[in-house]
Structure 1
Amino acid sequence: MWSGSATNPAAMPDSASKTTSPALITPCDPWPRPYYLEGGLRRVAPYHFTYNTWVKERWRGRTLFDVFESEFRDRPVDYYLAAMESGLVAVNGKTVGPHYILKNGDLVSHTTHRHEPPVTAEPILIIHEDDNMMVINKPSGVPVHPAGRYNYNSVVEIIKSERGPDYLPRPCNRLDRLTSGIMFLAKHASAAERLCVQISERSVRKEYIARVNGRFPDGEVLCDQPILSISPKLGLNRVRANGKPAKTVFKRLAYYPPAEKMEVPGDAQREYGAQEGYSIVRCMPVTGRTHQLRVHLQYLGHPIQNDPIYANQRVWGYNLGSNDADAVQNTDEDVITRLSRMGKDEVADAVAYHDEMVDTYEKKKAEKMSGEVCEICNTPLYTDPGSQELSLWLHSLRYEDAEGAWSYMSPLPAWALPPKDMEGPTQVGAMDDLVGAVTAVEAE
């Protein structure tokens, strides 16, 4: 897309952003990106942005309004109608109105006033860089690609903003938004293809670190329970006998008992395992199912301590889905319904921190509707996300070639280090002690 200062909302008077002259500020992709840091968060000032989409075959012969009404549901129908009449929605760069009949070769442009959620202000640390790739330590809470409400607040766009508008990092492995740790970004297509093939062929070993409720068992623990996606829409998975095969090897790195003085409400103690203490667990996935580590740890009765979904009693009940492969304790429908009800209108206090609970449990806030709207576009505005919505205690610790050609490892995240006044490991040794168990599992 073309970009220039004339399309930067910061450079326009308020009146200009509300005018309805033909094809209002289309196309638009502000550069430099409107980032600013405040309160420990990377924020993006609201900006106009243009989505360009070529007419799909199923759109041909239909009116512009009909297509938007049936296929784009993130805004009210009245908004789309007004946008078409004002030029915020244009075809081939011109205002055509809602009754325009779309035809093959048309380019539909939609200029919106975007409001992105903030993400952590922690920098993206570079662990290794050469002519082919960059190995980074991704902060928690930052999505890899632009998706949904996130655009410039993504790993790809943040790095692009630092390296220049023509820089195109190509992610070779995927981490969920809340997961931190090792990621590979190729600098050109051939490097991306080589590494993606290597990872997909399982010639790369991966190790994660997690902080889980309670005292995790001694020794190596294999979980080979199949995993089923019970709601693709919500991204919700669980152990089910009719799911896809999944295998993970776990080994406890450390256990930290609860602090002696925990002045925490009784309900919170029961719900968040405050009386159990917590464990730091090494995780080696043999397969790669969505949410595999989170789901397997939940099934084993030791969910990730601050997991907003799988450690949430308001969704899973008292036992948090432990050993419930047959959905006896909670049906899929029950779980989906409860999770669906947890909207932005209520404070999601389903997550609490072991070492911060004393003074802040009742004070925790989550991102929710603020009741305010944008003066320019009337978009409902959200409050800032709570700290529990910016972090998951799951970290991609290490990737290494199975033949020993290379290995990349990040430092332990702060939440995995020993608590104040306690002794414990500050680093993780070689993977050799776990490789034997994984190899045996793979050979089965």
Structure 2
Amino acid sequence: MSRRARIALKEAKLETKALKAKRPGFTDDRYNETSYYIENGLRKVYPYYFTFTTFTKGRWVGERILDVFAREFRAHPAEEYERCIQAGTLTVNYEKVPTDYKLKHNDLLANVVHRHETPVLANPIKLIHVDEDLVVLDKPCSLPVHPCGRYRHNTVVFILAKEYNLKNLRTIHRLDRLTSGLLLFGRSPKKARQMEHQIRKDRLTSGLLLFGRSPKKARQMEHQIRNRLVQKEYVCRVEGEFPDEIIECKEPIEVVSYKIGVCKVSPKGKDCITIFQKLGYNGETSIVLCKPKTGRMHQIRVHLQYLGYPVVNDPLYNHEVFGPVKGKGGDLGGKTDEQLVRDLIHIHNAENWLGMDGDSELSMFNPRKGDLDDSLVSALGPKDRVLGDDDADPVSREPSPCEEPCETATSLACERSPHPLSISTLSSANRNDAKVTVATQTGHEAPDHSFNPDKMTVDKHCYECKVRYRDPKPQDLVMYLHAWKYKGPGWEYETELPEWARISLVLRLS
């Protein structure tokens, strides 16, 4: 590389760094840009204005901004993007430009949208332990840990900041959106890194969560998690009668698509081990204790699918899209990875899998109906970052919202469950309960969650304001997988068992 090229590269990096520095991050202004209300047992977010940002891709350089948006982001016609550019809501480097502006390297594109979030169950977050270094909590199901997809204020980190006054927490590990259970955060980078070295986790899962409140504590916990110094125990409810003997599954797991978050057992995958033990059986389903010895993506769920005992209401791995036997024994019905991803995109509403943790350009706008082939290319292709301008987490992503409400494979899988669900049984929260819980645990009073019509904004140009959405079905908001216990060097935490696991386990332990 010539001296001139090196200088140009250095200047480009400095320019990129300066543009990124303009992003506000998680500030009080961001936390206060909207608020919550509770309706029908669901926590809902008043719509608000938000800025999606992305840097110019190499293939866009030299093209007109209007041509790029008309081709790459086809949720709206070119006329709508022309209106946005002329109105100054679609900008380059936070400055208004003409519609014939030609994109350059490192140009930061920003688009202001009227953002609508997906409701979650109104169950309160239960704090298990809080000190100057660490926050440990029991995450309710349906709630993502970090902003992703159609979730931002309806996430653990935003609710903790807004209602528990617990801010600037460091990620140690994660849980899937539908999974409940133990979650840890460091209150410092050091503690977060220390704990993360010991633990790894998913998002649909509920359960124990740990946050480091200081850098030292965060690094310490991160180290323990990553280096497998932590003993982890989960409980789940699976289809059928699980074997009486202890089962050790050592099948390697391969990520089929990072974009949509799908894995399978494959010889090309990474080594992993999960130990399973049946705790109870009710004639139709079994309660199973799960002890993952490694921390691969969706490890417990994929291993249970492979063994032929998928989690009862798993919207992804308990589905015929994986073949006639739903992936048992690695049998996908002869499908290639490309066919599997294509079928998943056609069958599932992306919001009802794992929040679709992808980050393609489709994040900024919805694809038009009929563009699923392009979505498939994006799902299997390279990763391109599309961020909200407060996206401070390097792995938080903004996938494309769903086009409209639909009957998903999630509901099909869950309707077969012998344990009917209702919002009233899943959500125990109301305004008084939430206030008592928050005030008792943190001394920080929760706001009034009654609906205020004055806070409901409407934008005449917003597509979602024109669509009447149904509330999510109860079976779309829970999965019977719970992070129960975590134990590391000098520490141990556990949550209460969820109702669906409690009876069987009590019988087993009595």
TM-score, structure 2 as length reference: 0.64
Which of 473, 492, 496 aligns to 1:407? It is 492
Distance 1:252 1:76, change over 3 A: farther
Contact preservation (8 Å) 1:29, 1:49? no
Distance 1:170 1:51, change over 3 A: same
What's the secondary structure of 1:339's corresponding residue?
A: helix
Task: Quote the Cα distance in structure 1 between the aligned partners of 2:460 and 2:147.
Answer: 25
What's the secondary structure of 1:426's corresponding residue?
A: helix
Task: Quote the Cα distance in structure 1 between the aligned partners of 2:507 and 2:160.
Answer: 28
Task: Quote the Cα distance in structure 1 between the aligned partners of 2:42 and 2:104.
Answer: 44
State the partner residue of 1:168.
Answer: 168
State the partner residue of 2:275.
Answer: 249
Task: Quote the Cα distance in structure 2 between the aligned partners of 1:295 and 1:148.
Answer: 23
Contact preservation (8 Å) 1:29, 1:48? no
Percent identity for Structure 1 against Structure 2 = 40
What's the secondary structure of 1:351's corresponding residue?
A: helix
Task: Quote the Cα distance in structure 2 between the aligned partners of 1:332 and 1:105.
Answer: 34
Distance 1:192 1:57, change over 3 A: farther
CA displacement at 1:54 relative to structure 2: 6.0
Contact preservation (8 Å) 1:311, 1:351? no
Of 316-325 and 385-394, deviating more is 316-325
Task: Quote the Cα distance in structure 1 between the aligned partners of 2:491 and 2:113.
Answer: 45
Task: Quote the Cα distance in structure 1 between the aligned partners of 2:43 and 2:341.
Answer: 32
CA displacement at 1:250 relative to structure 2: 0.5
State the partner residue of 2:142.
Answer: 141
Task: Quote the Cα distance in structure 2 between the aligned partners of 1:284 and 1:95.
Answer: 54
Distance 1:212 1:149, change over 3 A: same
Which of 248, 256, 264 aligns to 1:222? It is 248
Distance 1:347 1:206, change over 3 A: closer
The amino acid that maps onto 1:426 is V
Task: Quote the Cα distance in structure 2 between the aligned partners of 1:186 and 1:76.
Answer: 45
**Structure with the largest fraction of helix:** 2
- Work out whether 1:117 is the aligned partner of 2:180: no
State the partner residue of 1:440.
Answer: none
- Work out whether 1:194 is the aligned partner of 2:194: yes
Distance 1:158 1:30, change over 3 A: closer
State the partner residue of 1:208.
Answer: 234
- Work out whether 1:350 is the aligned partner of 2:416: no
State the partner residue of 1:181.
Answer: 181
CA displacement at 1:101 relative to structure 2: 3.7
What's the secondary structure of 2:343's corresponding residue?
A: helix
What's the secondary structure of 1:282's corresponding residue?
A: strand
1:333-344 alignment runs, 5 A limit: 333-344=338-349
Distance 1:301 1:189, change over 3 A: same
CA displacement at 1:92 relative to structure 2: 4.8
State the partner residue of 1:304.
Answer: 311
The amino acid that maps onto 1:425 is L
What's the secondary structure of 1:238's corresponding residue?
A: strand
**Unpaired runs of at least 5, structure 2:** 1-22, 196-221, 350-405, 423-457
**Max radius of gyration: which structure?**
1
Distance 1:330 1:56, change over 3 A: closer
- Work out whether 1:294 is the aligned partner of 2:301: yes
Alpha-carbon deviations, 1:58-90, whole Å to 9, x = none?
A: 766554335545655665544333211111112
State the partner residue of 2:378.
Answer: none
The amino acid that maps onto 1:356 is P
The amino acid that maps onto 2:43 is R
Contact preservation (8 Å) 1:137, 1:182? yes
State the partner residue of 2:9.
Answer: none
State the partner residue of 2:506.
Answer: 426
Task: Quote the Cα distance in structure 1 between the aligned partners of 2:257 and 2:327.
Answer: 16
Task: Quote the Cα distance in structure 1 between the aligned partners of 2:138 and 2:76.
Answer: 36
Contact preservation (8 Å) 1:412, 1:427? no
Distance 1:163 1:97, change over 3 A: farther
Task: Quote the Cα distance in structure 1 between the aligned partners of 2:323 and 2:497.
Answer: 32
What's the secondary structure of 1:142's corresponding residue?
A: coil
Alpha-carbon deviations, 1:382-409, whole Å to 9, x = none?
A: 42221122111111111111x4x11000
Count of residue correspondences: 362
Task: Quote the Cα distance in structure 2 between the aligned partners of 1:182 and 1:209.
Answer: 12
Q: CA RMSD in A?
A: 3.0
Contact preservation (8 Å) 1:252, 1:280? yes
Distance 1:64 1:282, change over 3 A: same
Contact preservation (8 Å) 1:171, 1:183? no
The amino acid that maps onto 2:174 is R
CA displacement at 1:109 relative to structure 2: 3.0
What's the secondary structure of 2:190's corresponding residue?
A: helix
Task: Quote the Cα distance in structure 1 between the aligned partners of 2:58 and 2:421.
Answer: 55
What's the secondary structure of 1:209's corresponding residue?
A: strand
The amino acid that maps onto 1:187 is R
**Unpaired runs of at least 5, structure 1:** 4-27, 258-276, 359-372, 419-423, 430-444
Distance 1:343 1:81, change over 3 A: farther
Contact preservation (8 Å) 1:32, 1:161? no
State the partner residue of 1:361.
Answer: none
Contact preservation (8 Å) 1:400, 1:407? yes
State the partner residue of 1:320.
Answer: 326
Q: Which has the higher contact order (CA 8 A, sep 6+)?
A: 2
Task: Quote the Cα distance in structure 2 between the aligned partners of 1:428 and 1:81.
Answer: 65
Contact preservation (8 Å) 1:30, 1:49? no
TM-score, structure 1 as length reference: 0.73
Task: Quote the Cα distance in structure 2 between the aligned partners of 1:174 and 1:385.
Answer: 23
The amino acid that maps onto 2:289 is R
Contact preservation (8 Å) 1:321, 1:329? no
